[in-house]
Amino acid sequence: LCKLHLGKKLTIILALSVLFTLTCFTVFLLHSKDTSLVFPSLPQQVVKGSRSVFGKMMDHIWVTKTPDVSRKTAATSAQPAPPLDPCPDSPPSLVGPVLVEFQTNRSLQWVRNQLGSVLQQGGRYKPPDCTARQKVAVIIPFRNRYEHLTHWLYYVHPVLMRQQLDYGVYVINQDGDGAFNRAKLMNIGFVEALIEYDYDCFVFSDVDLVPIDDRNLYRCSDHPRHLSVAIDKFNYILSSVTAFGGVSLLTEEQFLKVNGFSNTFWGWSGEDDDLYNRIIVRGMSITRPDAGIAKYKMIKHGRDLHNEVNPENAVKTQKTAQNIETDGLNSLNFTVKEILKDVLFTLISVDVQAP
C-alpha cells in the first residue's frame, strides 16, 4: 500500500510539473506573439579581381549592404502596396533642348554626389509614382574613356529619369589591350543585362554621344530604331540613309531575330552597317525620330589605340546574308573578369579573346 501510495504521489507531481511547464510556455507565447525574431545578417563579401583595368576611376565604389529584415507574423505584416498606374505616354517633365558642356573638370565622385541619392545600385532607376512603359538596358561598349563616361553619366541619367524609364546602365569594358571589338561588347551587354533583369528594350550607345534634347525618347518601337540622327560633328545632318550607329535601339525580340551583332568585326567601323544589313535580311526596317529633336553632341577625341580602321570589315559587310545564321549571339564566347556595382552604373569587364 505504501508503494502504491508513493507511486500515486509521483504521478501527481509529474503531472503538475508538466502542467506548470505548459502554462509557462503558453504565457511566453502570448507575451512574445508580436515580438520579431531577428537574426544577425552575415556581412556581405565583395569579391573583386584586378582593378588595374579601370584604374583610379573606381576608387570609390558604392556598395549597398543588405539591411537586417525582421520576420513579421501574418497578423502584423504590412499589406502590399497597390499597383501604380502606367506612366503617361508623353512624360510630363521633359524640358526639350538641354545645354551640354564638356569643357569642365567634373569628376565621377562629383557626379555621384549630384545624382546618387535618386539612383539604385548598379545605375538603376524606376519612376517612383508610375509604372514605366518599358524596361530599358543601356549598353555602353567601353575601354579607356573615363572622362567621356563621366560626362555621359552626368547628362544622360537625368534625361532618362525625366523620360520615366525603368532602366539600368551597363558599361561593358574590354579587358586587355588587344584589338577592340565594339560589336562583341554589345552582344555581351545584352546577355549580361538579361541575367540581372527582364529588360525588353536595349539601347546600344557610344560613350561619346550625349543627347541635347530630352524629347528624343529612349524607347523601343515596333521596328529597330536609330536615335543619333543629327550629330554636331556632321553639322546635324544624317550621314547616310543606311546609318545605324551611334545610338540604336532594339527590343529583345528584334535583337534575337537578327542574331545580335557579328562577333568578327575587330577594329574600327563596319559592325553597324552589318547590323543594318541583318535587319533588312530579316525583313524589318528601321525608324528614326525627327532630326529636329534627335540631336547629339559628340565629345571630341582622337583615334583610340588598337581600334584602327580594319580594311577587312568592309568586305564582311558584303557577306551579311551568308553569316547571319552562324555569327552572332549563338556563337558568342567571352569570359567575365569582374563585375563592379557603382551607384551610377554596372561595370562588367570581359575578356573577348582579342587577337
Amino acid at 338: E
On whether the CB atoms of residues 248 and 278 are closer than 8 A, the answer is no
Taking Cα atoms as reference points, which of 139, 170, 172, 182 lies closest to residue 354?
A: 182
Burial of 66 (0-12, 13-18, 19+ CB in 10 A): exposed
Taking Cα atoms as reference points, which of 170, 182, 285 lies closest to residue 225?
A: 285
Which residue in 175, 206, 338, 342 is the catalytic one?
206
Which residue in 301, 304, 312, 325 is the catalytic one?
301
- Is 110 known to be catalytic? no
Burial of 89 (0-12, 13-18, 19+ CB in 10 A): exposed
Tell me which DSSP letter residue 97 carries: B
Q: How many helices (H) and strands (E) does the chain have?
A: 8, 11
Cα gap 167→326, rounded to integer Å:
31
- Is 268 known to be catalytic? yes
What are the CA-CA distances from residue 192 to residues 134, 138, 181, 334, 348 (Å)?
18, 12, 17, 11, 8
Which residue in 192, 208, 274, 327 is the catalytic one?
208
- Is 272 known to be catalytic? yes
Which residue in 175, 252, 272, 274 is the catalytic one?
272
How many other C-beta atoms lie within 10 A of the C-beta of residue 46? 10
Give the burial string for 238-276 (b: 16+ CB within 10 Å, else e).
beeeebbbbbbbbbbebbebbbbbbbbbbbbbbbbbbbb
- Is 303 known to be catalytic? yes
Which residue in 166, 175, 271, 342 is the catalytic one?
271
Cα gap 87→25, rounded to integer Å:
53
- Cell reading at 29: 507565447
Which residue in 268, 284, 288, 351 is the catalytic one?
268
- Is 51 known to be catalytic? no
- Cell reading at 95: 524640358
Cα gap 105→212, rounded to integer Å:
20
Taking Cα atoms as reference points, which of 60, 65, 63, 145 lies closest to residue 110?
A: 60
Total residues belonging to the chain: 355
Taking Cα atoms as reference points, which of 80, 41, 81 lies closest to residue 64?
A: 41
Q: Which residues are catalytic?
A: 206, 208, 268, 271-272, 298, 301, 303
